[in-house]
Structure 1
């Protein structure tokens, strides 16, 4: 089956065409996979106490997790869909830097979050996508987020993809550790994802499926229980099976634009300059760990 978009991607140069590579991968080739991968990329950042503690202190993520999720997605989609130097892309980047500028975030934490946006989608697609990524596509993803990092004033971004992956792996190995704030942020995120698919009464049945997608260090950092290895294999093999028939489907003729998805957070639409606004509650929600 001829695939014009897939074939066109093969001819793109990751050094200069990285914006087009990202747009075609995220909006045409792997829209569902990309969104799921970025959700789990966020999970990995919340396993770091210095990152989860900052989110917890705002009170926003626990009290309004859907808004925080939508704001993050929309800013990234605005940049991917419109380009760095477009009017909307510049506005989204400006808004992102304004949001982050209010907090004392360490450069190494910024760098790790950036690395998860590079490598979690690559890993997800390698495991569950309908086809494998080409080398120029992986490098295009790396170049896109390296450029994003430079425009966010993130320092010491590795010059090549292998060094950046080494940083990603080593940072997780040395910084993942259990903290109660991890549990609260991780639980709020997991409940949010379950709410996309299940009524609340069925969330306890859905938790094992999300836990099954997490490796042991990630589960331990959140204080989540580990599901049995056979169940992990069942969940992951089911996702792999999903990808197999997709290779025989006709390619997408229209882009799946994340900025056009209807979101309950913004039923009447949104303004870029209003994304990420929040009102800190008088007291941050506190709770105790339940039997997870």
Structure 2
């Protein structure tokens, strides 16, 4: 019989800094890795980047970017990439994966500060969401530290310069960056709306997709809605989003551990299905 609390027992033997990859993998890929939630979390992280006109322009490309033309394909490929990072971290295979990704991006000539902000959405956004929606009942310090440490190492592998060394410093840098650099662009709005629509379409029946899109928008800090060009959800839907996040965290704390999950297995299968549909179309 499977040990009902196997993940918690393994986490108790790990250090969130020294064993950051495995700790983050067990935390964010397995325990909190419910596909509908993790799909939303990383899509929202992507959406935050659209506040910077330079990032938005690179991805929108006057409506020709893959994120607009084939949102689901692009999204699921990104989720599989994150799964590869959770599986390999900064080991030899992880380094090869990062090198391949960097070769893809070389022709965009992306400056260091844009890489630094994108990394912040992965290293710091879980803390922002947890603090805003769950407060003291949110993710633990160790859970958040393991995520931060994993992406800190990925950033160093990528050669990103001037990464703040602590969660607190990086989060402060992130908020300051948004104040100084964020501005509305039609392309940024189009990408965020595409991300919300893709998530809602994948998980919800058509009659509920409008509500689902508002739940997605509610996960983004309200002060960024205007700069991203997205509507502010009705108050009850914002409250519902908060209760769902807080309730999910509480449920994970008390319910037995699920079997080990993999973003690679969950979302690469969907990529294969999308490619098959494209060939048959």
- Which bracket does the TM-score occupy, shorter chain normalised? 0.7 to 0.9
Question: 2:189, 2:86 → 1: CA distance?
Answer: 31
Q: Which residue does the alignment assign to 1:183?
A: 189
Q: Give the deviation of 1:44 after TM superposition.
A: 0.7
TM-score, normalized by length of structure 2?
A: 0.84
Distance 1:15 1:203, change over 3 A: closer
CA RMSD of aligned residues (A): 2.7
Question: Which of 145, 155, 158 is 2:164 aligned to?
Answer: 158
Please show how residues 229-268 of structure 1 align to structure 2 within 5 Å: 229-252=235-258, 254-262=259-267, 263-267=269-273
Equivalent residue, structure 2, for 1:213: 219
Q: Give CA deviations for 1:80-117 in whole Å, capped at 9, x if unaligned.
A: 11333243x23321221112212121211110110110
Tell me which residue corresponds to 2:107.
102
- How far is 1:149 from its partner? 0.5
Structure 2 gaps, min length 5 = 277-281
Q: Where does 1:26-65 land on structure 2 (aligned, <5 Å)?
A: 26-32=28-34, 33-57=37-61, 59-65=65-71
Distance 1:94 1:103 in 2: 15
In the other structure, the counterpart of 1:83 is 89
Structure 1 position 37, deviation (Å): 2.1
* Alignment check: 8 A CA contact 2:30 2:260 kept: yes
Q: Secondary structure at the match of 2:215?
A: helix
Counterparts of 1:192 and 1:229 in 2: how far apart (Å)? 23
Q: Which residue of 1 aligns with 2:279?
A: none
Does residue 1:70 correspond to 2:76, yes or no? yes
Match of 1:141 in 2: 147
Residue from 225, 231, 245 that aligns with 1:225? 231
For the residues of structure 2 that align with 1:36 and 1:204, how far apart are their CA atoms? 15
Gap change, CA 1:248 and 1:269, over 3 Å in 2: farther
**Which position in structure 2 is the counterpart of 1:278?**
none
SS class of match (2:271):
coil
Q: Structure 1 regions of 5+ residues with no counterpart?
A: 271-292
d(CA) in 2 for partners of 1:148 and 1:78? Answer: 12
Distance 2:248 2:77 in 1: 29
Deviation at 1:30, TM superposition (A): 1.2
Deviations 1:219-246 (A, max 9, x none): 1122122123343123322432344344
Q: Distance in 2 between matches of 1:73 and 1:56?
A: 19
- Return closer, same or farther for 1:269/1:78 CA change in 2, 3 Å cut-off: farther
CA contact (8 A) 2:218 2:237 kept: yes
Change (3 A) 1:150 1:247: closer
Taking a change above 3 Å as real, the CA distance of residues 173 and 81 of structure 1, as seen in their structure-2 partners, is: same
Distance across 1 between alignment mates of 2:165 and 2:92: 25
Residue equivalent to 1:14: 16
Q: Is the 8 A contact 2:60 2:68 kept in 1?
A: yes
Runs of 4+ with >6 A deviation: none
SS of the residue corresponding to residue 265 of structure 1 reads helix
TM value normalised by structure 1: 0.81
Supply the distance in 2 between the matched residues of 1:68 and 1:160 (Cα, whole angstroms). 31
Cα distance per residue 1:153-208 (max 9 Å; x no partner): 11111122221111111112222221111111111111111111234565334333
